[in-house]
Protein backbone atom coordinates (compact mmCIF):
# COMPACT_ATOMS: atom_id res chain seq x y z
CA UNK A 1 0.00 0.00 0.00
CA UNK A 2 1.39 3.46 -0.91
CA UNK A 3 2.61 5.56 2.01
CA UNK A 4 0.01 8.25 1.33
CA UNK A 5 -2.82 5.74 1.69
CA UNK A 6 -1.32 4.32 4.87
CA UNK A 7 -1.02 7.79 6.34
CA UNK A 8 -4.60 8.66 5.47
CA UNK A 9 -5.85 5.35 6.88
CA UNK A 10 -3.95 5.98 10.13
CA UNK A 11 -5.39 9.48 10.48
CA UNK A 12 -8.89 8.20 9.77
CA UNK A 13 -8.59 5.54 12.46
CA UNK A 14 -7.33 8.08 15.00
CA UNK A 15 -10.08 10.56 14.14
CA UNK A 16 -12.71 7.81 14.20
CA UNK A 17 -11.75 6.82 17.74
CA UNK A 18 -11.61 10.49 18.80
CA UNK A 19 -15.14 11.26 17.57
CA UNK A 20 -16.54 7.91 18.77
CA UNK A 21 -15.41 8.72 22.32
CA UNK A 22 -17.17 12.11 22.15
CA UNK A 23 -14.02 14.16 22.72
CA UNK A 24 -15.57 16.87 20.55
CA UNK A 25 -18.33 17.20 23.16
CA UNK A 26 -16.60 16.64 26.50
CA UNK A 27 -13.04 17.89 25.93
CA UNK A 28 -12.89 21.55 27.09
CA UNK A 29 -9.80 22.23 24.96
CA UNK A 30 -11.68 21.58 21.72
CA UNK A 31 -12.23 24.66 19.57
CA UNK A 32 -15.81 25.91 19.45
CA UNK A 33 -15.68 25.79 15.66
CA UNK A 34 -14.81 22.08 15.67
CA UNK A 35 -17.48 21.37 18.28
CA UNK A 36 -20.16 23.27 16.35
CA UNK A 37 -19.16 21.64 13.08
CA UNK A 38 -19.45 18.15 14.55
CA UNK A 39 -22.67 19.14 16.30
CA UNK A 40 -24.24 20.16 12.99
CA UNK A 41 -23.41 16.74 11.54
CA UNK A 42 -24.72 14.96 14.63
CA UNK A 43 -28.04 16.77 14.29
CA UNK A 44 -28.33 15.14 10.87
CA UNK A 45 -27.75 11.66 12.27
CA UNK A 46 -24.00 11.32 11.69
CA UNK A 47 -22.05 9.82 14.58
CA UNK A 48 -18.49 8.71 15.30
CA UNK A 49 -16.76 7.33 12.22
CA UNK A 50 -19.49 8.70 9.97
CA UNK A 51 -18.39 12.23 10.88
CA UNK A 52 -14.81 11.32 9.99
CA UNK A 53 -15.86 9.98 6.58
CA UNK A 54 -17.77 13.18 5.92
CA UNK A 55 -14.78 15.32 6.88
CA UNK A 56 -12.39 13.29 4.72
CA UNK A 57 -14.48 13.66 1.56
CA UNK A 58 -14.83 17.45 1.80
CA UNK A 59 -11.41 18.34 0.24
CA UNK A 60 -12.34 16.21 -2.80
CA UNK A 61 -15.70 17.82 -3.44
CA UNK A 62 -14.07 20.60 -5.44
CA UNK A 63 -12.97 18.10 -8.08
CA UNK A 64 -16.60 17.25 -8.83
CA UNK A 65 -17.11 20.69 -10.32
CA UNK A 66 -15.07 19.63 -13.35
CA UNK A 67 -17.22 16.56 -14.04
CA UNK A 68 -19.79 18.28 -16.32
CA UNK A 69 -17.02 19.62 -18.56
CA UNK A 70 -15.77 16.13 -19.41
CA UNK A 71 -18.96 15.14 -21.18
CA UNK A 72 -20.19 17.00 -24.20
CA UNK A 73 -23.52 16.01 -25.82
CA UNK A 74 -23.09 15.98 -29.60
CA UNK A 75 -25.74 15.58 -32.28
CA UNK A 76 -24.58 14.59 -35.77
CA UNK A 77 -27.13 15.80 -38.29
CA UNK A 78 -25.41 14.21 -41.27
CA UNK A 79 -23.22 11.09 -41.36
CA UNK A 80 -21.54 11.98 -44.65
CA UNK A 81 -17.76 12.13 -44.47
CA UNK A 82 -17.51 11.08 -40.84
CA UNK A 83 -15.62 8.12 -39.43
CA UNK A 84 -18.03 7.56 -36.54
CA UNK A 85 -21.75 8.16 -36.32
CA UNK A 86 -22.67 9.75 -32.99
CA UNK A 87 -26.37 9.51 -32.33
CA UNK A 88 -28.42 12.06 -30.45
CA UNK A 89 -27.77 12.25 -26.68
CA UNK A 90 -24.44 10.43 -27.00
CA UNK A 91 -21.87 11.55 -24.41
CA UNK A 92 -18.47 12.29 -25.92
CA UNK A 93 -15.36 12.31 -23.73
CA UNK A 94 -12.62 14.29 -25.47
CA UNK A 95 -9.09 14.85 -24.12
CA UNK A 96 -8.28 18.55 -23.89
CA UNK A 97 -5.01 17.98 -25.76
CA UNK A 98 -6.89 17.21 -28.97
CA UNK A 99 -8.40 20.68 -29.11
CA UNK A 100 -5.19 22.31 -27.92
CA UNK A 101 -3.37 21.00 -31.01
CA UNK A 102 -6.10 21.73 -33.54
CA UNK A 103 -4.49 23.48 -36.53
CA UNK A 104 -7.79 24.93 -37.76
CA UNK A 105 -8.13 26.77 -34.44
CA UNK A 106 -4.58 27.81 -33.51
CA UNK A 107 -2.87 27.99 -36.87
CA UNK A 108 0.14 26.30 -38.47
CA UNK A 109 2.37 27.10 -35.47
CA UNK A 110 0.14 25.17 -33.07
CA UNK A 111 3.13 23.15 -31.80
CA UNK A 112 5.07 26.30 -30.89
CA UNK A 113 4.45 28.21 -27.66
CA UNK A 114 3.44 31.64 -28.86
CA UNK A 115 2.22 33.77 -25.93
CA UNK A 116 1.25 36.60 -28.27
CA UNK A 117 -1.64 34.54 -29.57
CA UNK A 118 -3.43 35.22 -26.25
CA UNK A 119 -3.02 39.01 -26.38
CA UNK A 120 -6.00 41.21 -27.30
CA UNK A 121 -4.06 42.54 -30.29
CA UNK A 122 -3.96 39.06 -31.84
CA UNK A 123 -7.72 38.61 -31.94
CA UNK A 124 -9.12 37.44 -35.24
CA UNK A 125 -12.66 37.38 -36.53
CA UNK A 126 -15.66 36.68 -34.32
CA UNK A 127 -15.77 33.11 -35.62
CA UNK A 128 -12.05 32.60 -34.89
CA UNK A 129 -12.51 33.83 -31.33
CA UNK A 130 -15.53 31.58 -30.86
CA UNK A 131 -13.46 28.56 -31.91
CA UNK A 132 -10.61 29.51 -29.57
CA UNK A 133 -12.89 29.93 -26.58
CA UNK A 134 -14.45 26.53 -27.25
CA UNK A 135 -11.06 24.83 -27.71
CA UNK A 136 -9.15 26.42 -24.84
CA UNK A 137 -9.98 24.26 -21.81
CA UNK A 138 -6.59 23.84 -20.07
CA UNK A 139 -8.01 22.88 -16.68
CA UNK A 140 -11.20 21.13 -17.71
CA UNK A 141 -13.52 24.12 -17.43
CA UNK A 142 -12.22 27.10 -19.40
CA UNK A 143 -9.44 29.65 -19.22
CA UNK A 144 -10.47 31.07 -15.83
CA UNK A 145 -10.93 27.87 -13.81
CA UNK A 146 -8.41 27.84 -10.97
CA UNK A 147 -5.93 24.94 -11.32
CA UNK A 148 -4.56 25.39 -7.81
CA UNK A 149 -6.69 22.94 -5.82
CA UNK A 150 -3.72 20.71 -5.07
CA UNK A 151 -1.26 23.60 -4.94
CA UNK A 152 -3.32 25.44 -2.33
CA UNK A 153 -4.36 22.44 -0.23
CA UNK A 154 -1.28 22.57 2.03
CA UNK A 155 -1.62 26.31 2.61
CA UNK A 156 -5.34 26.02 3.35
CA UNK A 157 -4.89 23.14 5.79
CA UNK A 158 -1.99 24.92 7.52
CA UNK A 159 -3.93 28.14 7.97
CA UNK A 160 -7.12 26.35 9.06
CA UNK A 161 -5.16 24.25 11.58
CA UNK A 162 -3.63 27.35 13.15
CA UNK A 163 -7.03 29.02 13.24
CA UNK A 164 -8.68 26.06 14.98
CA UNK A 165 -5.80 25.54 17.39
CA UNK A 166 -5.18 29.07 18.57
CA UNK A 167 -8.48 30.91 18.22
CA UNK A 168 -12.07 30.76 19.35
CA UNK A 169 -14.73 31.63 16.79
CA UNK A 170 -18.17 32.65 17.99
CA UNK A 171 -21.18 33.36 15.80
CA UNK A 172 -22.55 36.91 15.81
CA UNK A 173 -26.14 37.39 14.74
CA UNK A 174 -27.63 34.06 13.76
CA UNK A 175 -25.94 30.80 14.74
CA UNK A 176 -23.74 28.81 12.39
CA UNK A 177 -26.33 26.04 12.34
CA UNK A 178 -29.07 28.44 11.25
CA UNK A 179 -27.43 29.30 7.94
CA UNK A 180 -29.32 27.81 5.01
CA UNK A 181 -27.25 26.61 2.07
CA UNK A 182 -28.20 26.77 -1.58
CA UNK A 183 -28.62 23.54 -3.45
CA UNK A 184 -26.12 22.27 -6.07
CA UNK A 185 -25.24 24.87 -8.68
CA UNK A 186 -23.94 23.57 -12.02
CA UNK A 187 -21.93 26.73 -12.71
CA UNK A 188 -20.70 27.17 -9.14
CA UNK A 189 -17.36 25.92 -7.88
CA UNK A 190 -18.37 25.95 -4.22
CA UNK A 191 -21.52 25.69 -2.16
CA UNK A 192 -22.56 29.04 -0.72
CA UNK A 193 -25.20 30.11 1.79
CA UNK A 194 -28.46 31.73 0.80
CA UNK A 195 -28.23 35.50 0.42
CA UNK A 196 -24.46 35.10 0.81
CA UNK A 197 -24.86 34.49 4.54
CA UNK A 198 -26.51 37.85 5.27
CA UNK A 199 -27.17 38.16 9.00
CA UNK A 200 -24.29 35.91 10.06
CA UNK A 201 -21.11 37.29 11.53
CA UNK A 202 -18.20 35.85 13.47
CA UNK A 203 -16.08 37.08 16.35
CA UNK A 204 -12.53 35.71 16.41
CA UNK A 205 -10.48 35.87 19.60
CA UNK A 206 -7.25 34.29 20.83
CA UNK A 207 -7.79 31.19 22.93
CA UNK A 208 -6.91 31.46 26.59
CA UNK A 209 -3.24 30.64 27.09
CA UNK A 210 -2.36 31.33 23.44
CA UNK A 211 -2.31 35.12 23.59
CA UNK A 212 1.48 35.41 23.20
CA UNK A 213 1.89 32.76 20.51
CA UNK A 214 3.44 33.87 17.21
CA UNK A 215 2.64 31.77 14.16
CA UNK A 216 5.17 31.03 11.45
CA UNK A 217 4.68 28.93 8.31
CA UNK A 218 7.62 27.43 6.45
CA UNK A 219 7.73 25.53 3.17
Task: Cite the annotated binding site by residue number.
Answer: 146
Residue ranges at the known binding site for heme: 146
206 close to 167: Cβ distance less than 8 angstroms: yes
Best CA proximity match to 32, nearest among 176, 173, 154, 159? 176
Centre a 10 Å sphere on the Cβ of residue 51 and count the other Cβ atoms it contains: 21
Cα–Cα distance measured from residue 186 to residue 162, given in angstroms and rounded to the nearest whole number: 33
Cα–Cα distance measured from residue 124 to residue 108, given in angstroms and rounded to the nearest whole number: 15
DSSP assignment of 150-206, as one string?
HHHHHHHHHHHHHHHHHEEEEEEES-GGGPPBP---TT-SS--BGGGGTTEEEEEEE
Long-range contacts of 153-162 (CB under 8 A, 24+ apart): 153/59, 155/217, 158/217, 159/217, 162/215, 162/217
Amino acid sequence: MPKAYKARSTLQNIACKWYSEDHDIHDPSVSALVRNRAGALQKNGLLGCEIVKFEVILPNVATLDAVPTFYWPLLVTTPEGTTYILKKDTDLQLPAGVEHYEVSVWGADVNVFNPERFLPSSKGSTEDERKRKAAYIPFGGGRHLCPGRNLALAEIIGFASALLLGFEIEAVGMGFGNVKMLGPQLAGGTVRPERYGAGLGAEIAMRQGWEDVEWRFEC
